[in-house]
């Protein structure tokens, strides 16, 4: 904490607090204006579904209920996929410390508060990192606000990808900690901060953390190896080598070991499950989902209002113009960031460029990182950082040479021409909002020209840049997210859920997603199907046999939903795509599926229509045995048969289960029907193993950080 406060002291504690308060207020006003309230969750404007509702709200609800009502840490999720690992699943966020705010706040309010806090943390991190690398307070504030309101982050909020927002918040803090370690100021404490931020980033999201760690490692190498362009373009084109590179290397190594130890409780169980997951067999085509095409780069100057968040590359045309100005004015000092942007862009193109296919062919494990454009989260930080340098250089050190002025003016003119031409040519397809948004570019160009002419005071120029950037980002941000009430995503399913409860449903299957995951979680109805990328291959195969739906490649849903008509909406696809699948009620019965609910009429032996609730058909499965599952918290289950079973039963999906003390040993499935009662508890050995490995790595990191440094110092 001392090193962090020292940084704030150097930058000005009052300025830091004032910036934090202003940014937090701005973000609160923005999110409230978008409709996020205590009972509302974020959606994209045109989307029927949101990951915040489908996945993160039920996960927070399960954690809250397990701890507060059952007094236990949830290791198993009994609600979907006939049961699935919970704590080992990175999406559950059990091991992410801020997630435990769910014990104090209702789940919806908890998620909205965490989004607000992490966006504020992201902006503050960019401010602190910018100050550490030489940005003045005003430009650093521009970098912070530009990152907190970056369209890619706001689009992630709208998609409900809250875990990506959480992880993105820690990226600038990683870069700040590297800067502190290599600067030699409070090096040991800085190494501990680096380890802590890295662990938090991984616990927040394993996927985005890989990109963050790659950028952090490249940044550390660039800053560590002499000769190095100075962190501040205003301090010249180079600096002397680090006075003690060996000590800096030890601190970075120690930070890596400490981070691995602090996050072991997540990555060790994940590695133990890795070979069993369906994701292990993911193909290159499946992993390359949403790869950017060449035409997609028009999105750098044209913000697709309300468009698909996964392919959004718009940083704010004003941010882009200032960032390009910085690269043109200090090409050598900022070359690393220009190169980083090119690599990120190449990776984001996925299968449409040579880099991604080459690396994933060489290292197939990289296919686990689906959706290559998510690497653009790094650009969402780099571009506002460069924009802040562009503003600072234009204001404090406008180029005196005529050639430099012509370069900047030429770049602005070319960008302006391209932006206006594209807006006029494509406005019919993209809407008037896009065309209006391009006017941020001529306003930015005007302020740049005033800076080059030194026509206004520095503060006035900076304020003008800030106003244009904020207007640019808020203009598109308002089209990327809206809050929707529980009245739209929970209450409509109450009649169906209450009927299933009264009918004594043990487990339910819906080929048309007629019982959404959040509704099943709220009313405590176990599902055979589900939405989550954490799926075991054996269960996927069993589900395909029982449902008659065979996915063409990797799917995050069971059953898979295939769009046959591209003009269909998501809701229409769900309601029709699996109606003709050859359902096997006998196999569903072996999994204790007592009810099938669908948005269409089903014809299958063993299914009898029990009720019709609204537009949903409710069928009872005659093949389901007389059985009952009694859960004592999420980690212990008792299976009771009222009559002998004609065949094997799969009461709970295979996991690390063991028989409860005093009960017949064996796994929960298949049960042979010879016994009428079984009790099983989830084996926590993977957690204890992770804690042991984590403790060992933390001890080793501490030994390297303190013992290794002393040894190096003596030498």
Over the stretch 417-439, which tens digit does the pLDDT of each residue have? 655 555 555 555 556 566 666 67
- Pairing, β 595-598 against β 508-509: parallel
Residue 377 maps to a domain: yes
Strand-pair partners of 597: 618
Residue 62 maps to a domain: no
Average pLDDT, the chain: 87
598, 579 in Cβ contact below 8 A? yes
The sign of the dihedral angle between the CA atoms of 457, 459, 461, 464 is negative
Neighbours of 365 (CB within 10 A): 9
Q: For residue 246, what are the contacts with CB-CB under 8 A and spacing of at least 6?
A: 712
- For 357, half-sphere exposure in the C-beta direction (CA atoms, 13 angstrom radius) is 7
Least confident of 432-441, 486-495, 601-610, 660-669: 660-669
Q: For residue 27, what are the contacts with CB-CB under 8 A and spacing of at least 6?
A: 116, 119, 120, 123, 148, 149
Residue 206 maps to a domain: yes
pLDDT of residue 238: 39
- Eight-state DSSP code of residue 703: I
By CB neighbour count within 10 A (0-12 exposed, 13-18 middle, 19+ buried), where does 57 fall?
buried
Strand-pair partners of 483: 42
Interval 12-25 mean pLDDT: 90
Residue 86 maps to a domain: no
| CA diameter of the chain | 92
For residue 629, which phi and psi values (nearest 5 degrees)? -105, 125
pLDDT top residue among 510 and 46: 510
CA 292, CA 375: separation in Å to the nearest integer? 11
- Domain with 421 in it: 2-33+95-482
* pTM summary value: 0.92
Residue 281 maps to a domain: yes
Q: Answer yes or no: is pLDDT of 478 > 80.
A: yes
- Confidence class of residue 653 from pLDDT cuts 50, 70 and 90? confident
Give Cα 251 to chain centroid, integer Å: 29
- Tell me which residue of 711, 509, 533, 535 sits closest to 595, measured CA to CA: 509
Q: Answer yes or no: is pLDDT of 177 > 80.
A: yes
Q: Is 55 helix (H, G, I), strand (E, B) or coil?
A: helix
Residue 517 maps to a domain: no
Tokens 């904490």 belong to which residue? 1
Residue 227 maps to a domain: yes
**Helices and strands (H and E) in the chain: how many:** 29, 14
pLDDT in tens, 189-244: 999 999 999 999 999 999 999 999 999 999 999 988 754 444 455 444 434 344 47
Residue 384 maps to a domain: yes
pLDDT of residue 452: 80
Instruction: Report the residue count for the chain.
Output: 715
Interval 342-367 mean pLDDT: 94
- Confidence class of residue 2 from pLDDT cuts 50, 70 and 90? very low
pLDDT top residue among 421 and 506: 506
303, 314 in Cβ contact below 8 A? yes
- Tell me which residue of 149, 143, 211 sits closest to 174, measured CA to CA: 211
pLDDT in tens, 119-158: 999 999 999 999 999 999 999 999 999 999 999 999 999 9
pLDDT in tens, 453-463: 788 899 999 99
Interval 661-676 mean pLDDT: 54
Which whole-number Å values give the CA distances from 456 to 139, 318, 406, 451, 452, in the listed order? 17, 19, 20, 7, 10
Measured at the CA of 349, the angle between CA 344 and CA 355, to 5 degrees, comes to 70
- Eight-state DSSP code of residue 659: E
Tokens 């190494």 belong to which residue? 191
pLDDT of residue 432: 56
Interval 627-640 mean pLDDT: 90
Which whole-number Å values give the CA distances from 564 to 49, 573, 578, in the listed order? 19, 8, 11
Q: For residue 619, what are the contacts with CB-CB under 8 A and spacing of at least 6?
A: 595, 596, 597, 598, 602, 607, 608, 609, 610
- To which H or E segment does residue 329 belong? helix 317-329
- Total tally of structural domains belonging to the chain: 1
By CB neighbour count within 10 A (0-12 exposed, 13-18 middle, 19+ buried), where does 661 fall?
exposed
Alpha helices for 34-100 (secondary structure H): 51, 57-68
CA 113, CA 110: separation in Å to the nearest integer? 5
CA 222, CA 241: separation in Å to the nearest integer? 11
Q: Answer yes or no: is pLDDT of 17 > 70.
A: yes
Q: Which residues of 204-226 are buried (b: 16+ CB within 10 A; e: fewer)?
A: bbbbbbbbbbbbbeebbebbbee
Q: Cα torsion at 97, 101, 103, 109 (round to 10°)?
A: -150
Neighbours of 677 (CB within 10 A): 12
Least confident of 356-360, 444-448, 456-460: 444-448
For residue 76, which phi and psi values (nearest 5 degrees)? -130, 145
CA 683, CA 672: separation in Å to the nearest integer? 22
544, 583 in Cβ contact below 8 A? no
């Amino acid at each position: 904490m001392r090193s962090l406060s020292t940084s704030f002291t150097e930058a000005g504690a009052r300025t830091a607090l004032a910036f934090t308060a202003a940014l937090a207020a701005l973000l609160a006003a923005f999110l409230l204006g978008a409709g996020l309230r205590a009972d509302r969750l974020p959606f994209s404007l045109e989307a029927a579904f949101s990951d915040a509702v489908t996945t993160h709200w039920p996960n927070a609800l399960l954690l809250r209920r397990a701890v507060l009502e059952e007094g236990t840490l949830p290791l198993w999720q009994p609600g979907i996929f006939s049961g699935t690992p919970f704590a080992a699943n990175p999406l559950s966020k059990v091991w992410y410390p801020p997630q435990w705010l769910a014990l104090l706040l209702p789940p919806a309010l908890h998620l909205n508060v965490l989004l607000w806090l992490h966006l504020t943390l992201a902006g503050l991190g960019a401010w602190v990192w910018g100050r550490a690398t030489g940005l003045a307070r005003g430009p650093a504030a521009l970098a912070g606000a530009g990152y907190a309101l970056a369209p890619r982050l706001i689009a992630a909020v709208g998609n409900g990808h809250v875990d990506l927002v959480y992880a993105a918040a820690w990226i600038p803090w990683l870069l700040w900690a590297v800067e502190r370690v290599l600067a030699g100021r409070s090096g040991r404490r800085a190494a501990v901060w680096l380890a802590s931020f890295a662990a938090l980033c991984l616990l927040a999201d394993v996927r985005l953390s890989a990109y963050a760690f790659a950028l952090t490692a490249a940044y550390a190498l660039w800053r560590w190896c002499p000769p190095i362009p100075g962190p501040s373009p205003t301090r010249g084109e180079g600096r002397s080598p680090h006075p003690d590179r060996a000590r800096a290397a030890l601190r970075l190594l120690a930070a890596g070991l400490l981070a691995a130890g602090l996050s072991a409780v997540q990555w060790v169980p994940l590695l133990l499950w890795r070979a069993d997951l369906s994701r292990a067999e993911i193909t290159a085509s499946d992993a390359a989902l949403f790869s950017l095409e060449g035409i997609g780069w028009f999105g750098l100057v044209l913000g697709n209002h309300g468009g698909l968040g996964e392919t959004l590359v718009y940083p704010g045309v004003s941010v882009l113009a200032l960032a390009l100005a910085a690269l043109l004015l200090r090409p050598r000092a900022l070359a690393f960031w220009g190169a980083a942007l090119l690599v990120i862009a190449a990776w984001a193109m996925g299968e449409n460029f040579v880099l991604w296919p080459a690396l994933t062919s060489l290292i197939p494990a990289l296919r686990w990182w689906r959706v290559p454009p998510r690497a653009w989260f790094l650009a969402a930080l780099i571009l506002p950082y460069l924009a802040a340098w562009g503003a600072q250089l234009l204001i404090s050190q406008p180029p005196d040479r005529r050639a430099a002025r012509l370069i900047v003016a030429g770049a602005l003119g070319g960008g302006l021409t391209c932006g206006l031409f594209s807006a006029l040519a494509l406005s019919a397809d993209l809407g008037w909002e896009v065309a209006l948004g391009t006017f941020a570019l001529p306003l930015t160009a005007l302020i740049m020209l005033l800076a080059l002419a030194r026509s206004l005071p520095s503060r006035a120029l900076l304020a003008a840049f800030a106003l244009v950037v904020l207007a640019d980002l808020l203009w598109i941000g308002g089209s990327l997210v809206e809050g929707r009430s529980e009245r739209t995503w929970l209450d409509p399913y109450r009649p169906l859920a209450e009927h299933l409860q009264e009918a004594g449903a043990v487990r339910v299957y819906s080929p048309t997603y007629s019982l959404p995951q959040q509704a099943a979680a709220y009313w405590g109805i176990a599902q055979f199907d589900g939405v989550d990328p954490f799926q075991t291959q054996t269960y996927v195969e069993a589900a395909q046999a029982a449902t008659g739906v065979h996915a063409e490649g990797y799917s995050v849903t069971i059953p898979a939903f295939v769009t046959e008509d591209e003009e269909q909406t998501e809701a229409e696809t769900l309601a029709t795509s699996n109606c003709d699948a050859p359902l096997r009620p006998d196999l569903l019965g072996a999994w204790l599926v007592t009810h099938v609910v669908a948005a269409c009429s089903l014809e299958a032996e063993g299914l009898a229509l029990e009720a019709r609730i609204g537009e949903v058909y409710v069928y009872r499965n005659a093949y389901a045995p007389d059985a009952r599952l009694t859960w004592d918290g999420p980690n212990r289950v008792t299976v009771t048969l009222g009559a002998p079973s004609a065949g094997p039963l799969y009461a709970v999906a295979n996991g690390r289960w063991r028989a409860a003390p005093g009960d017949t040993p064996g796994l929960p499935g298949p049960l042979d029907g010879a016994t009428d009662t079984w009790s099983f508890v989830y084996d926590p050995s993977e957690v204890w193993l992770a804690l042991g490995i984590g403790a060992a790595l933390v001890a080793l990191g501490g030994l390297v950080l303190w013992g290794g440094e002393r040894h190096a110092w003596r030498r």
